Each structure stands twice: as C-alpha cells, then as structure tokens.
Amino acid sequence: MSLVVQKFGGSSVADAESIKRVARRIVDTRKAGNQVCVVVSAMGDTTDELHDLAAAVSPAPPQRELDMLLTAGERISAALLSMAIDSLGDSARSFTGSQAGVITDDVHGKARIIDITPGRIREALDANHIVIVAGFQGVSQSTKEITTLGRGASDTTAVALAAALGADVCEIYTDVDGIFTADPRIVPTARKIDRISNEEMQELAASGAKILMLRCVEYARRFGVPIHVRSSFSHHEGTWVVDNESARNQQGEEGVEDPIIAGVAHDRGDAKVTIVGVKDSPGVAAKIFQTIAAAQINIDMIVQNISALDTGLTDVSFTCPMSDGPRAVEVLQAAKESIGYDQLQYDDQVGKLSLVGSGMRSHPGVSATLFQALADNGINIEMISTSEIRVSVVTKDDQLDDAVRAVHTAFGLDDADGQAVVYGGTGR
C-alpha cells in the first residue's frame, strides 16, 4: 500500500462545493488502495479577511497574536474537509499543525520547520483514517507557541510531512496543469514540463517561478521527496519534480536527449540600487553590504563595474526585494560618510529573466545564445549573474515580456504545434 501526501491550496477549497469536490478526489485516492495524508490551506480569501480584521483592531498587530489568528483559517478548512470526507462514507481526522507534530523555531510569521514528530498522524493512518493536516502552521519547540511558516508554506508542510512519513509521493494540487517552460500568460506557446530535476526547480523557484515555494523545493531535494504538481480540476499527469538521477533516467527511457534548458522564469519583484563613485579599494564592498545586512535586507544580484583608471572610482549595483528598496536607500544614505560615494540611484522599473537548465553544465554557449536573442530584439541588459545551471539578466521592466518570449523561442522551448496552453494561474 502506498502512502500519498496531497496538498490542496486555498482556491481548491474556496467554498463548500469545492471542498466536496476535493473530498471526492481524496476518497478516490484512498479507494485506489493508498493511505492518504492531506495538507490543506485556508479557504479562498480567509487569510486576507483575517488580516483585514487584525488591521481593523490594531495598526501593528503583534506577530504572536497574528499567528494565533491566522492559524484559525486552516483549522476551519481542515475540519470542513474532514466532515465532507465523512459524509462520503469514509473516515477522516483533522489535525492542527501542532497536533500533527510540525515543530518549528520560534520566529512568528515565518517560522522554519526544525522537526516533524508525526506520531498522531501515523496512528490515525494505521487506524485506516484519512488524515487532514492544517497547513502553514506549527508549534515552536522552545516556547510551545503557535507559529506560522509564512504565506504559501502549506507546500512546505506537505513536503516535510511526506519526508517524515516516508511517503511515496507528495502531490501538490493547483489550478494549472503543472509547471511550464515559461509563464503561459506571457508565452502562449509555453509547454508543460513532464519531469524536472529538483535542482532545476529550485533555481526556477528562486528566480520567480511562483508555482512552488522555494523552501518547499529545497526541503524535497534535501529529503528526496518526489513532488507531483498537478491540477485539481483534471486527472491529467502534471509535472514530476524528482532527483537528478530520476529526471535523467526517465528521459533516457523515452529515448529523448536531455534537454539543455528546463525553462525560463521571470520576476518583477526586485528593485535595483546603484552606488555611484565608490572608492575601488579593499573593504568598501564589505562596508556597503554590512550596512545592508544590518538592516535585514536580502540581496539578490550584485555587480561591480571595473573602475575608471583616471579616478580610481567604481560603481556597485545590487538588486533586492522591491519592498526593501526604500529602506536600503535610507540606510545607505545614513552611511554615506563612512562608505564614501558620490550618489545613489534607485530603479524599481526593472525585471529579471532567468534561464535554468542542468544541461548548461555540459553545453557551452548558452549565455552567448541568450545574449544574442536579447540583442536581436533590441533589449538592453543591465545586469548579469550566473550559477552553475542558471543565467539571469536584469532588463527594463517594460522589455521583460519581450525578453522572455525571445529567449523561449531561441532555445527551442515553444510548443511544436504552437497552440496556446490552458493556464489559469494567479502567479505574477
């Protein structure tokens, strides 16, 4: 008997009808001879509504209380889903994150899972119940307080539970058919990916692909949990996110050569800060990024120009989340004397395109093809950064969509028959 972990997001359980539909799907999986453990998000807009209520009573609600409040959302959907399964004649038990043994650190609002002790879950599964776990929440190991894992972290709950239970697969249900070679709302010819390595998925998620949370993919990779991303509206196979070995084997069996490129991700969530006229001497960069780090701002890309020979001055640019941009400027201005620079430039009209594929390791020339495709379409590159299996470029925001389409075509990712795929996602 297989053990399947299934995760359903808020849009899959938005109302009573949806909950009943999901319940039927879960019961089908159980009837097919599997043990089933389900992780569920809060219904539809519940989390937003609870945030609104919080805002109505307090301008800055304490994070501990916010966690207490928000976790009610998943408790409600988990209990309702369990009832709906019961009314289909099967037997289900719902559990809060705390009851399910989701042990976290004590950082309210964005706690990290540090352990899973699924004793009660295992017991309920062994007693032939379907188990429903409230996603997104846990209990702090040190303070015993209720914590949340941050928005969208029900995926992580599901993968962590799958790892702890030794599940055969973690199915992430969503409103699209799987993971695509690019966002189909920008690239209508994007293809659904049948199988992708978790290494590539990790890069795509880190580069702005919204369909899976980065932390969820990291967790799956670390613990070797196969993820199956699929639609809750159809029974089609979706996208399997598997380890590198499995990704290659499967493709080998089909007699298809490894694709060089898995997909193109894009991200409009960053801003670019440029520090002009910095002295090109040891310790200056350290000073800049210590200042930024002290303000708890995460940096994405960093570029330093070669210094002008006559002045010994250089420019340093970096990108950071747009929401942190104004604060980055503020702390750099406050440190102007100690760092020493001419001026600051701030630009939040930028976008990032990332090309991801493990085939890059063995195929030189990927960057060249990328830059040529952009050049052919008149798109200027403002920054470049690379990893072993990724090349990212920053462009003007209003050129980003053109850039994604151009690169998608240049790497032969377009769907053979040029058909637009069905895509109902809500990602950016």
Name the site residues for its own copies (rule: CB under 8 A).
16, 19-20, 23, 50, 53-54, 56-62, 64-66, 68-69, 71-73, 75-76, 78-84, 86-87, 92-94, 96, 99, 120, 144, 146
The DSSP code sequence of 19-41 is HHHHHHHHHHHHHTT-EEEEEE-
Q: How far is the CB of 115 from its own copies (least distance, A)?
A: 19
Task: Report how far residue 63's alpha carbon sits from residue 110's, in angstroms, rounded to the nearest whole number.
Answer: 10
In the complex, the smallest distance separating the C-beta of residue 120 from its own copies, rounded to whole angstroms, is 8
To its own copies, the closest distance from the beta carbon of 119 in angstroms equals 11
Q: Which CB sits closer to its own copies, 19 or 301?
A: 19
Entry field: residues in the chain: 428
Strands 227-231 and 169-174: parallel
Instruction: Please state the closest distance from residue 23 (CB atom) to its own copies, in A.
Output: 8
Minimum distance from CB of 69 to its own copies (Å)? Answer: 4
Question: In the complex, what is the shortest distance from the CB of residue 171 to its own copies, in angstroms, rounded to a whole number?
Answer: 22
Say if strands 350-356 and 263-267 run parallel, antiparallel, or are unpaired. Answer: antiparallel
How would you list the strands of the sheet with 195-197, edge to edge?
92-95, 130-134, 35-40, 3-8, 169-174, 227-231, 239-242, 195-197
Least Cβ distance, residue 99 to its own copies (angstroms): 8
Q: At what angle do helices 400-410 and 366-376 cross, to 10 degrees?
A: 130
- In sequence order, what are the residues at sequence separation of 6 or more whose Cβ sits closer than 8 angstroms to the Cβ of residue 141? 103, 104, 105, 106, 114, 115
Shortest CA distance to 145 belongs to which of 113, 94, 104, 112?
104
Helices (H) and strands (E) in the chain, counts: 13, 22
- Kindly tell me which of 58 and 234 has the beta carbon lying closer to its own copies: 58
Long-range pairs of 14-17 with CB within 8 A, sequence gap ≥ 24: 14/43, 14/44, 14/45, 15/43, 15/44, 16/80
Per DSSP (E only), the strands in 25-106 are 35-40, 92-95, 102-104
Nearer to its own copies, 72 or 344 (CB): 72
Q: Which is nearer to its own copies, 99 or 409 (CB)?
A: 99
- Please state the separation of Cα 287 from the chain's center in Å: 31
Name which of 133 and 383 has its Cβ closer to its own copies. Answer: 133
Between 60 and 309, name the residue whose CB sits nearer to its own copies.
60
For residues 56 and 368, which CB has a smaller minimum distance to its own copies in the complex? 56
Q: In the complex with its own copies, which residue's Cβ is closer, 86 or 168?
A: 86
- CB of residue 56 vs its own copies: minimum separation in angstroms? 4
CA distance 272 to 265: 18
Task: Identify which of 108, 171, 104 has the alpha carbon closest to the alpha carbon of residue 139.
Answer: 104
* Closest to its own copies by CB, 28 or 123: 123
- Minimum CB distance to its own copies, residue 108 (Å): 12
